[in-house]
Amino acid sequence: MKKTALVTGILGQDGPYLAKLLLEKGYKVYGLLRRYSTPGFGNLEYLGIEHDVDYIEGDMTDESSLLSIIKNTRPQEVYNLAAQSFVGSSWEQAKLTTEVNSLGVLHLLNAIKYFSPTSRFYQASTSEMFGLSHENGIQDENTPFHPRSPYGVSKVYAYWMTVNFRESYNIFASNGILFNHESPIRGIQFVTRKITDGVARIKLGLQNELRLGNLDPQRDWGFAGDYVEAMHLILQADTPDDYVIATGETHTVQEFVEKAFAAAGILDWKKYVQTDPRFQRPAEVPMLKGRIDKAVKQLGWKPKVSFDELITMMVKADIERLEKKAR
Ligand code: NAP
Ligand code: F7E
């Protein structure tokens, strides 16, 4: 019998990478789609799996849709990746962010509790929950939370609700506390993809400047393809638990910019980069750097793609995408 999994957020960045991994492992994959006039399957197409997923219509803000999906599919594994995930928009759309990221998780957990209590549940938690908090410049599973955005706050609720369903109802519910992870199908608003797309356009003469916000924040950036492997391992463990998933390295936005331009053979990046206050945030997370000892020891997980390899991969993919469009 094929194992079954429900993946919410199937059209985003992580959904397609996870679906591909699960399909390769022989799973039947249900993908939750919210209603759209024209849904964008581009990320699934990029990975060549758009025809291999079983799509189901529902919305994280509509509890009844989630109740009936879980009742009808009873998947062995549920990966909750759906979210209003852009930190920058979470100040302007704090209520929507909370409804999707916090209450949406409660809806899904209730659906599991009522209709499929043996389903294993993965919650896409985030390093944004740490925000200002660190111990000697590093964050791990024991670091207290101090979120700095409505997005971070919404995810703290979801984290604790996941823990609470585990402790209250004995549901196999786990949090992956993932640090930033990127790829050629990262949303264009996020800084890494905005940079690699901008660099590719500058390289091809399609654009002559790149407008960014604060270049000083430090992030622990890894590759999404590596991180979905950790999500799967978290649900294969003997017991449910919470894990930090990161690379253990941190770099400034400016370092990412310099390396992205260099990857395209442009050394005078300062000529092209303008700072623009529109891209600064009301409260910033200055530094993120994860300690992954627990994931290494208990899951046998380690990242494979380095910071430099990630940047080269993304710049190359954006140049190829734009060249293909122009043909
Ligand atoms: P993403 O590209 O923004 O994808 C999020 C997905 O959620 C999209 O497919 C979106 O659907 C869907 N969604 C939004 N609102 C919804 C709703 N009301 N009902 C159903 N689906 C809805 O995010 P990602 O980078 O893949 O991240 C996956 C998850 O990991 C998110 O929960 C994010 O918060 C979390 N996370 C990400 C990172 C990271 O660095 N990438 C790090 C830590 C945690 P549409 O396509 O229809 O808009
Ligand atoms: O910003 C700075 C910005 O939007 C990274 C999400 O996946 O990871 C992501 O959240 C940094 C911030 O990601 C621009 O101020 C400068 O310090 O790429 P980002 P994020 O906010 O770290 C976490 C782990 C998640 O969970 C989230 O879902 O870059 N920055 N200039 C800029 N950021 C953007 N977007 N645009 C700029 O022009």
- List the chain domain ranges: 4-181+221-245, 188-219+251-287+306-326
Q: Which atom of ligand 2 is nearest to the CA of 281?
A: 15
Class of domain 4-181+221-245: alpha beta
In this prediction, residue 18 has a pLDDT band, given cuts at 50, 70 and 90, of very high
Q: Treating both helix axes as pointing N-terminal to C-terminal, what angle do 104-115 and 150-169 enclose, rounded to 10 degrees?
A: 20
Residue of the CA atom closest to atom 11 of ligand 1: 9
> Which residue among 7, 14, 162 is best mutated to probe the pocket of ligand 1, counting the most ligand atoms within 8 A of its Cβ?
14
Query: Is residue 1 scored above 90 in pLDDT?
Result: no
Tokens of 195: 């940079």
Mean pLDDT of all residues in 19-26: 98
**Region 253-281 average pLDDT:** 97
pLDDT bin (cut points 50, 70, 90) of residue 241 is: very high
Query: How many CB atoms within 10 Å of residue 298?
Result: 15
Residue found by looking up tokens 């823990």 in the block: 163
| Ligand 1 neighbourhood includes 108 CB (under 6 angstroms) | no
Active site residues: 126, 128, 151
* Res. 326 pLDDT band, cuts 50 70 90: confident
H-state helical runs in the chain: 14-24, 42-46, 63-73, 94-98, 104-115, 150-169, 191-203, 224-236, 253-263, 293-299, 307-326
User: Considering the chain, what percentage of its residues have pLDDT values greater than 90?
Assistant: 98
* 180 CA: nearest ligand 1 atom: 40
Does pLDDT of 38 surpass 90?
no
- CATH homologous superfamily of domain 188-219+251-287+306-326? UDP-galactose 4-epimerase, domain 1 (3.90.25.10)
Q: Do domains 4-181+221-245 and 188-219+251-287+306-326 have the same CATH topology?
A: no
Number of the ligand 1 atom closest to the C-alpha atom of 181: 40
Quick check: CB of 34 below 6 Å from ligand 1?
Answer: yes
Average pLDDT over residues 111-133: 98
CB atoms within 10 A of CB 194: 17
Q: Token match 């964050």: residue?
A: 139
